[in-house]
């Protein structure tokens, strides 16, 4: 069974991406206001939610996990 076919039958929680799994994320204006962890990430093994000011410089770093976010135009 293909990956896409099986994901249609998984519960919504199974489609969440792991929080803090990567060190770099590219985000768009649709993701603003930016928080880490982002919506759609599993939260059970993550740090408290923190909002990151990315609009002024185009990049932000999470003070908890060190994830680097870059704003794509």
Helix (H) or strand (E) holding 26: strand 24-27
**Residue 2 or residue 53, greater confidence:** 53
Helix, strand or coil for residue 73?
A: coil
Q: What is the pLDDT of residues 21-71, one digit of tens each?
A: 668 999 999 999 999 999 888 777 789 999 999 999 999 999 999 999 999
């Amino acid at each position: 069974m293909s990956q896409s076919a099986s994901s249609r039958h998984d519960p919504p929680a199974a489609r969440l991406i792991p929080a803090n799994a990567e060190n770099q994320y590219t985000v768009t204006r649709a993701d603003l206001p930016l928080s880490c962890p982002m919506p759609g990430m599993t939260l059970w093994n993550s740090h408290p939610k923190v909002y990151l000011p990315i609009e002024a410089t185009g990049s932000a770093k999470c003070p908890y996990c060190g994830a680097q976010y870059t704003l794509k135009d």
